[in-house]
Amino acid sequence: MKIIGFFNNKGGVGKTTLAYHIAWMFRDLGVRVLVADFDPQANLTVAMLDDDRLLALDAEGTDKTKTIYDAIEPILEGSGDVAPLRGEEIDEDLWLIPGDLGLARFEDRLSDAWPRCIDDDRAALRATTALYRTVRVAGDARGVDLALVDVGPNIGAINRSALISCDFIVVPLTADIFSLRGLRNLGPVLRSWREDWGERRERAERLALKFDLPLGAMNPIGYVLHQHAVRSDRPTLAYDRWANRVPRQYAESVLGTKPADASEDLDSDANALAVLKHYRSLMAMAQQARKPVFKLRAADGAIGGHVDAVRKARGDFETLTRRIAQAAGVKL
Ligand SMILES: Nc1ncnc2c1ncn2[C@@H]1O[C@H](COP(=O)(O)OP(=O)(O)OP(=O)(O)O)[C@@H](O)[C@H]1O
Ligand SMILES: [Mg+2]
């Protein structure tokens, strides 16, 4: 099973929307997919489950291990290891590890555990790998080929734990000054997490632990530039100004490429996985219908000019998903 994370510490750049659409597209292309909502804001979970199912997550019952909080609660309470969770079925071959506001309670515990991992502290290693092991257990139970991880917009301990679980990282971004600044943070942060985890993992391997450790590769496979954040009062000129700086900033900050070797051109940049449109009313329609934009039908309101837009959106997401599959070695 390959694990791909969608990450940028800048908020509102389209991480969740992208993870959601890519998950459905992989599924449509014949891949069994698990999506993990590791953002305590749980926006992805709200997008994927209707109100009745959201309520059911909260219901008392025999099968209490439903959300990511339920899975990590024994660690938080000091009563045991992660509780196995199978994930909610969203559709054929598509499952979700539901998010939970309670996950925020794990932040301090994970912060505290990180330095202790270096001291061969088994409980700290269990806590640090809890999110990874939850993905593995649900993924193995469902026999998935791929897991996608969505996280919140920060560089805290929950995200560190969620992202060291990932083999690959896709960076969604928008064309503005803060997104570019975000890239400058992102590269060094990913590098330090990779190195620090590598050191911890190497030590932990000598302990003959009874649980799996993630590799922590976090290989950046490219960025997806979103146009949805273009402000209507500052249209094309501002967009181009920032967009054209993305190839170089990504190459330098995230990949550590020398300035002279970085691409200057968005259209031909090998790291640009896609430039995605502002889907406007189609996105609102899709949220209402609880579907990806490329699955909208007449009954959802996609009539007239929307029909062609939906068809084009399918093409755009399919091309993007095939690129991600190729970069991450996911067989379609
Ligand atoms: N391609 C798009 N076209 C139109 N609207 C979009 C598109 N992508 C995302 N949006 C909208 O932009 C907003 C932010 O997107 P989203 O929630 O996916 O970002 P995020 O990076 O996950 O945010 P956060 O940092 O809060 O987790 C949402 O209202 C979403 O519907
Ligand atoms: Mg989000």
pLDDT digits (tens, 9 = 90+) for 266-279: 889 999 999 999 99
Residue 12 near ligand 1, beta carbon < 6 Å:
yes
Query: Above 80 in pLDDT, residue 298?
Result: yes
Taking alpha carbons only, the member of 72, 100, 104 closest to residue 85 is 72
Predicted pLDDT at 265: 86
Closest approach atom of ligand 1 to CA 226: 1
Query: Above 60 in pLDDT, residue 297?
Result: yes
Whether 110 contacts 160, CB under 8 Å: yes
Residue 278 near ligand 1, beta carbon < 6 Å:
yes
Query: Above 60 in pLDDT, residue 47?
Result: yes
Predicted pLDDT at 76: 96
Q: Which helix (H) or strand (E) holds 329?
A: none
Residue 171 near ligand 1, beta carbon < 6 Å:
no
Taking alpha carbons only, the member of 31, 47, 19, 3 closest to residue 94 is 31
Beta strands across the sheet bearing 146-150? 88-91, 94-97, 33-37, 146-150, 2-6, 168-174, 219-226, 272-276
- Residue nearest to ligand 1 atom 15, measured at CA: 14
Residue 152 near ligand 1, beta carbon < 6 Å:
yes
CA of 30 to the centre of ligand 2 (A): 25
Residue 51: pLDDT band (50, 70, 90) is: very high
pLDDT digits (tens, 9 = 90+) for 188-217: 999 999 999 999 999 999 999 999 999 999
Whether 243 contacts 220, CB under 8 Å: no
CA of 224 to the centre of ligand 2 (A): 15
Taking alpha carbons only, the member of 148, 122, 117 closest to residue 211 is 122
Query: Above 70 in pLDDT, residue 171?
Result: yes
Token pair recorded at residue 86: 């199978």
Query: Above 80 in pLDDT, residue 238?
Result: no
Query: Above 80 in pLDDT, residue 221?
Result: yes
Token pair recorded at residue 197: 């985890």
CA gap 149, 39 in Å, rounded:
9
Predicted pLDDT at 233: 61
Alpha-carbon distances, residue 67 vs 73, 240, 245, 275 (angstroms): 10, 41, 40, 33
**Topology of the domain comprising 2-328:** Rossmann fold (3.40.50)
Residue 22 near ligand 1, beta carbon < 6 Å:
no
Q: Average pLDDT, stretch 9-33? A: 96
* Ligand with an atom nearest the CA of residue 309: 1
CA of 6 to the centre of ligand 1 (A): 12
